[in-house]
Structure 1
Amino acid sequence: MSYPSRRAALRMTTACTVILGLTAAASAQEAGVDLGQITLGESKREVQTNTATAVTLIDQDEIDDRQPGTIAELIDTVPGVSLVNGSTPQGSGINIRGYGANSTYGTDQKVAVVVDGASVGAEEIYRLGTQLFTDPFLYKSAEVIRGTVGSFEYGSGIIGGVVKLETKDASDFTNGEIGFVGTQTLEFSSNGGGITSSTNLAWKVSDDFEAMLNYTWRDQDLQQSGNGTEIGNSAFTLPSYLVKGRYTFGQNRDQSIALSYTVSNTDESDVPYDTFVTSGGMFGNVDRTVNSRTAALVYAYNPANDLIDLNVTLSYADQEITQEYIAGTSTCDDPSNPCRFQDGFPAGGFGTVNADHRYETTKLTAKNTALFDTGLINHELRTGFELINKKRLNANSAYGGTDKRVALYAIDTMDIGSWTVTPALRYEHSQIDGSTAPYDGNYSNDALMGGLSLRYAFNNGFAVFGSAAYTENLPIIDDLNNDIYMSQSEKSRTFEFGASYAASDVFSSGDSFSVKANLYQTALWDVTSYSARSSTSIDKIETKGLELEASYAMDSGLYVDLNANIVRAEEYGSENTLDDWRGAPADTLQLTLGKKFGEELDLSWEMQGSKRYEGTDAVVAGSVVHNLRATYKPSQGVLRNSQIRFGIENAFDKEYTPRLSTRAAPGRNFKVSIATTF
């Protein structure tokens, strides 16, 4: 899109904003709505004070309110979560507690992403980001579990945490009633001339059967940073759809079968191979298509028996990346450039830029939740069994093979008076078989992992908690070229300690206040995922930090949300070297002030601050960014059954590049959306 076209898009978006704002105000006045009448006192996000696990839940209301363009943008306000870029699906990644994505690979296998029970994501594809190509409009909730102690139900080697995404259901739109409901959302953004359309068709045929379809089309041109400079490689078009259905049957309707299927794909022409940068550089440009498909078939059985609550999930995740180098786009194509190879290939090598990748993960999970008592102890025992088969296509730049795993886990939440004691165990066995000579060996590994969390709740709303956890990251297909790596798992232990408080009528009648602080310390050794900065290898990585979440809401509708994250991390080299850990994020603070006028109007201001980072690898300036949001849900008048949202991100057009990111952040961005139900 040309510069004049972007200006036209900006004018169109601003005009839409003004018109919608005036219409909303007129509708409210026409309906006789008293915007000063308050009925509820609650903030945007509930602090999870009833558990020792460091977990944050983002519900449908917050997803809609934030108007995120990517999954990464949806969870970037969670303490402990940092983004590698984030405003585009390509070249972005999720970092939790210093692990996950980095500027070289989109994943290090220490952050798990789960969609409806399916494990999604690839291994270490060079310079291609997380490849979490999916759209926020497909999901009704996002849950982030930080650290290891709450992760044993979802995999091994999870040090950073787990991102759980749950797709929408038809009953979310029909409110459980029989009938047909459709919704249409249009969203516009000024920075990059973004346009998004999302359509939901939900049908509850009977009490026993429901089905829905979502189709979302999202398009964005090149964005601009705060100083007006175009951010290269920031344009994308992402069509996505979701098909989901559920059938309930059996005696007392105690059984059900649900099927969900999501598809997202992009088709890019003449874009940098290296998705982390803004121009082709030494690797040059490619034509690239990405097809991402996820399917989950779930059988649930929950009879009138406290010992049985069974879920069996068969899931399939398929990610296919096809790319072809465009001749002459690499700086190394210049014969005088020292990076040019003697055979005429660019330094990136056609093996890398012409590589086609495909990852297929099939997983069968059976888990049961049993409730029972043993004397004075109340148990919630979750047990599970998993069969996992991951297949990696042989590529020009990577080795193919299969990774077959068997896992067993048990997690027992025991309530003993004011105490909650939760031991957890996971056993996992892997068998990796290479498919391409000379890396066609066979390797077996297994590990027993576990943890224990303790929580004591006082009668006045206070609680203290602590945990210890140990996990192992078993070898992956990408390590087939190294016999040592293939017989050695990475090992990690984490200790956590914290306190929480939740109460109402704290400072005034009808208010609510909750706060949770969590200290953690993690050590990783037998390191195989990273190369050392100052030594031949890394002996150990240590990270420690403080995560804080707080929320306060008054009966008048005023509310405050606060999140803070402080991290210190170091890597110890094999030659007695000590460096700052390259994955450590900057310290951050987020503050939201808002007011709700009944159920109809929500106005908020959000400040996101990042402290100046000074480390071995980089010095990154601090930044303070302001965001404004307004949500209007008229209950009467011509706009009844509609929702209107307006947001300004980076309101003061701040020019900055966040720590861990490789591209400048977008400048000021006006967003407006209108959703209606029919």
Structure 2
Amino acid sequence: MSPRPSVLLLLLTSAAAPHALFAQTAPSTIVLDPVVLRAGTEKVASQVPQSVTVVDEAELNQIAPDNIGQVLDRVPGVAGVGSGSFFGQAFNIRGFGAGLAASESGIVQMIDGEEKYYESYRQGSLFVEPDFLKRVEVLRGPGASTLYGSGALGGVIAMETLEAADLIPEGAAQGGRVRLGYDTNPDSAFGSAIWGWRNDSGFEAVAGFALRKLGDSTDSNGDVIVRADSTTPNLLLKAKQSFGDHYVEASYQHLEAKGRDQDFNQLEGAQVGLFPGFPGWGVGDITTRDQTARLVWGYDPADPRINMKVTLSYTNTIKDVRQGDDPAEPIMSSLLGRRDYGLWKLKAQNVADLSSGAFSHFLTFGAETLWQDRTSSVTSSSHPEAKTRGAGIFALSEIEMDRLTVNTGLRYERQRTEPADSVTYSDDVVKSSSFEPQIALMYRLSDDLSVFGSLARVNRMPTVDELYDGFRGAAPSPDLRTEKGRNVEIGLSWTHQSDAGEAAAKLTLFQNRITDMIVRTDGVAPTPAYVNLDRATLRGGELEASWRSDAWTLAAAVSVVNGAFDDDDMPDGISLPNDRAVLSAVWDGGGAWRAGITSTLAAGRDKQDGTYRGGYGVHDIFAEWTPQDGAMAGTTVHLGIDNVTNRDYTPATWMTGPAPGRNVKLTLTRKF
């Protein structure tokens, strides 16, 4: 077994070379403590008694991501589970998320406030065009569940797309940008154009179109890992009209990918010979369609107690799988056909400002109801059809006094899940509920230093797969109890300014104890496909630290996660990530030039199957040129190289590997 880098060494290295509590808004302006979106009022990260990371538009441009996984890989406590493929993106937060169907149910994934729902076998969990994102906020741990949805044992990934104000120069009525790019691994090219308008009558709108031509991902030896060959257009439309105290807004996003001889298994590739006689998962002509639509009515009068919003939303993700052109690589008949994951949601909430002269107090309360349908054109015991109906109420109180912040929340949710007629081996209707209280405190010891702590209880209700899966002849599991998570966090938050520069750091220690954990048995009838375990415990820590001077920004993000399980075996829903440190240094040459390096240093990890994933070090570099005057003003040329040393490695959370080898990417952006 290879020697393992010490966790303590990772922590010491990061503390000595202070990822990022910084966010950059312009080539020459780094903002200490990024703004965190809250229901009551916007706050900076150091004032929030929770572990949260913000990746803003400037850092997104610096990463120049081909997929959302390249953004989240830099966030402490978050790890990729899928492949480097655009269609193989799945995630793990603090040990939750293992890449199989429904394993991300402990993570709430949202775009523009709307929850995404997708649970297909070995085909990723999230499809989003990263070029239209302006911000990604990751809230780690169950404390985020009050406002965003029950069952967030791991946390919340909240993505936001560009608004008109992000595109239009100050004082202008319209503005936008055009972008072209090329990557060597995967061999891909893309182009996008997005424009914003506004007028004096309270109207604003955004229209954007992006097109990606996606090829194969290869490892450090040049061997193909995953074939994602497809043409992938994406449409973004937004409009908002204000009428005095009222406003109405609507948005629609549509991604439509046409894959040709694409690997069915976008997480692991073909895997020919996985077991004796196995021909591989096969290749097919696969259509991926992802839609997000929302209609919002808002009312914000002069009365501070009223700031109301009602949202009707619809999201749907489909996979339509057909046989490819190569008869030597067939897809199993049970995996063919079209599968839809539709989710309607109606949500109403109000933010009441109850502040007085002695303290600020924001109370957010609301209710929502949802209709969730999972359908398939091909009957399969491993992918049961069902519909779920649910309703919930929630309230979050945020009180801030001179030195003390107190946040308390409560969410109650019920759901009813009913199998479709195609599920012939079970007609059980399952009703379940979730009661989720939380409290978080922060006390400012001084202007620079604060201590914080939180206690949250979360219940994750069983998913359709867990209730009705009959794969390999196992019995359905309608008697499953809800998973119960109790999460405790403590931490320190520190900011400081001096003549030498500005600094920020946030340290969080956590313990998440899960009882009645739902795990897969792989048994045959009468053994249920899923059962409850008594208890599992996850514990660890995260450190984010940054330091900035006039020309340099140094940053570090460290995450450590370990687990203890009652039967000494890791449950299927748990996949422990590498303990790792992400170190970065960015040089700003005064506006025209910027350059930087990001290094990921990961410790090795024992896997559930008894294997060992070795540690690794991977380095990414970039350089940007933004002319300040002349014909090229408003243009940015970005050159980046991911995995500069072409390192052969496999993250511990990946089901198989290896990760992609070196990738050279060139991006040209023009703003108008």
TM range (shorter): 0.7 to 0.9
In the alignment, structure 1 residue 116 sits paired with structure 2 residue 112: yes
> Hey, what does 1:350 align to over in structure 2?
333
> Hey, what does 2:451 align to over in structure 1?
464
> Hey, what does 1:77 align to over in structure 2?
74
**2:148 aligned to which of 154, 168, 172:** 154
Cα separation, 1, equivalents of 2:507 and 2:288: 40
Cα separation, 2, equivalents of 1:386 and 1:178: 38
> Hey, what does 2:472 align to over in structure 1?
none
Cα separation, 2, equivalents of 1:178 and 1:256: 22
> Given that residues 261 and 325 in structure 2 are in contact (C-alpha distance below 8 angstroms), is that contact kept between their aligned partners in structure 1?
no
TM-score (norm 1): 0.85
In the alignment, structure 1 residue 258 sits paired with structure 2 residue 249: yes
> Given that residues 245 and 258 in structure 1 are in contact (C-alpha distance below 8 angstroms), is that contact kept between their aligned partners in structure 2?
yes
How far does residue 59 in structure 1 lie from its aligned partner after superposition? 0.9
In the alignment, structure 1 residue 545 sits paired with structure 2 residue 536: no
How far does residue 256 in structure 1 lie from its aligned partner after superposition? 1.5
Q: Closer, same or farther in 2 for the Cα pair 1:579/1:488, shift >3 Å?
A: closer
Cα separation, 2, equivalents of 1:287 and 1:329: 13
Cα separation, 2, equivalents of 1:639 and 1:496: 50
Matched residue type, 1:460: D
Structure 2 spans left out of the alignment, 5+ residues: 1-26, 36-43, 273-277, 469-474, 524-529
> Hey, what does 1:455 align to over in structure 2?
442
> Hey, what does 2:59 align to over in structure 1?
62
Matched residue type, 1:118: E
How far does residue 138 in structure 1 lie from its aligned partner after superposition? 1.7
Matched residue type, 1:303: P
How far does residue 622 in structure 1 lie from its aligned partner after superposition? 1.0
**1:237 aligned to which of 208, 231, 250:** 231
**1:607 aligned to which of 560, 580, 599:** 599
**2:351 aligned to which of 360, 366, 369:** 369
How far does residue 236 in structure 1 lie from its aligned partner after superposition? 4.0
> Given that residues 570 and 580 in structure 1 are in contact (C-alpha distance below 8 angstroms), is that contact kept between their aligned partners in structure 2?
no
Cα separation, 2, equivalents of 1:536 and 1:360: 27
How far does residue 311 in structure 1 lie from its aligned partner after superposition? 1.6
Residues 460-539 of structure 1 aligned to structure 2 (within 5 Å): 460-481=447-468, 484-486=477-479, 488-505=481-498, 509=499, 511-531=501-521, 538-539=533-534
Q: How many residues align?
A: 611
Q: Closer, same or farther in 2 for the Cα pair 1:484/1:372, shift >3 Å?
A: same
**1:421 aligned to which of 386, 406, 420:** 406
How far does residue 412 in structure 1 lie from its aligned partner after superposition? 0.4
Q: Closer, same or farther in 2 for the Cα pair 1:255/1:486, shift >3 Å?
A: farther
> Hey, what does 1:625 align to over in structure 2?
618
How far does residue 359 in structure 1 lie from its aligned partner after superposition? 0.9
In the alignment, structure 1 residue 188 sits paired with structure 2 residue 173: no
> Given that residues 355 and 396 in structure 1 are in contact (C-alpha distance below 8 angstroms), is that contact kept between their aligned partners in structure 2?
no
Cα separation, 2, equivalents of 1:224 and 1:304: 58
Cα separation, 2, equivalents of 1:73 and 1:530: 30
> Given that residues 49 and 442 in structure 2 are in contact (C-alpha distance below 8 angstroms), is that contact kept between their aligned partners in structure 1?
yes
How far does residue 528 in structure 1 lie from its aligned partner after superposition? 2.1
Matched residue type, 2:414: H
**Secondary structure, in 3 states, of the residue corresponding to 1:122?**
coil
> Given that residues 200 and 213 in structure 1 are in contact (C-alpha distance below 8 angstroms), is that contact kept between their aligned partners in structure 2?
yes
Q: Closer, same or farther in 2 for the Cα pair 1:182/1:400, shift >3 Å?
A: same
> Given that residues 546 and 553 in structure 2 are in contact (C-alpha distance below 8 angstroms), is that contact kept between their aligned partners in structure 1?
yes
> Hey, what does 1:271 align to over in structure 2?
262
Cα separation, 2, equivalents of 1:586 and 1:372: 44
- Considering only CA atoms, is the larger Rg found in Structure 1 or Structure 2? 1
> Given that residues 538 and 571 in structure 1 are in contact (C-alpha distance below 8 angstroms), is that contact kept between their aligned partners in structure 2?
no
**Secondary structure, in 3 states, of the residue corresponding to 1:153?**
helix
**1:249 aligned to which of 243, 254, 277:** 243
Question: 1:103-123 deviations in whole A, cap 9, x for unaligned?
Answer: 433643100111112111213
In the alignment, structure 1 residue 167 sits paired with structure 2 residue 161: yes
> Hey, what does 1:381 align to over in structure 2?
363
**Secondary structure, in 3 states, of the residue corresponding to 2:166?**
helix
Q: Closer, same or farther in 2 for the Cα pair 1:517/1:185, shift >3 Å?
A: same
> Hey, what does 2:395 align to over in structure 1?
410
Cα RMSD after superposing both structures:
2.5
**Secondary structure, in 3 states, of the residue corresponding to 1:488?**
coil
How far does residue 478 in structure 1 lie from its aligned partner after superposition? 2.5
* More displaced stretch, 524-533 vs 446-455: 524-533
Structure 1 spans left out of the alignment, 5+ residues: 1-37, 334-347
How far does residue 578 in structure 1 lie from its aligned partner after superposition? 4.2
Cα separation, 1, equivalents of 2:316 and 2:612: 38
TM-score (norm 2): 0.86
Question: 1:178-207 deviations in whole A, cap 9, x for unaligned?
Answer: 523232101111233321101112222434
Question: 1:504-556 deviations in whole A, cap 9, x for unaligned?
Answer: 11xxx1611000000011122212244489x98633221111111001001x3
> Hey, what does 1:284 align to over in structure 2?
282
> Given that residues 191 and 666 in structure 1 are in contact (C-alpha distance below 8 angstroms), is that contact kept between their aligned partners in structure 2?
yes
**Secondary structure, in 3 states, of the residue corresponding to 2:354?**
strand
Q: Closer, same or farther in 2 for the Cα pair 1:578/1:653, shift >3 Å?
A: closer
**Secondary structure, in 3 states, of the residue corresponding to 1:277?**
coil
Question: 1:463-492 deviations in whole A, cap 9, x for unaligned?
Answer: 001111101111222234366545521111
Cα separation, 2, equivalents of 1:106 and 1:635: 49
* More displaced stretch, 276-285 vs 492-501: 276-285
**1:644 aligned to which of 637, 641, 646:** 637
* More displaced stretch, 179-188 vs 509-518: 179-188
**Secondary structure, in 3 states, of the residue corresponding to 1:150?**
helix
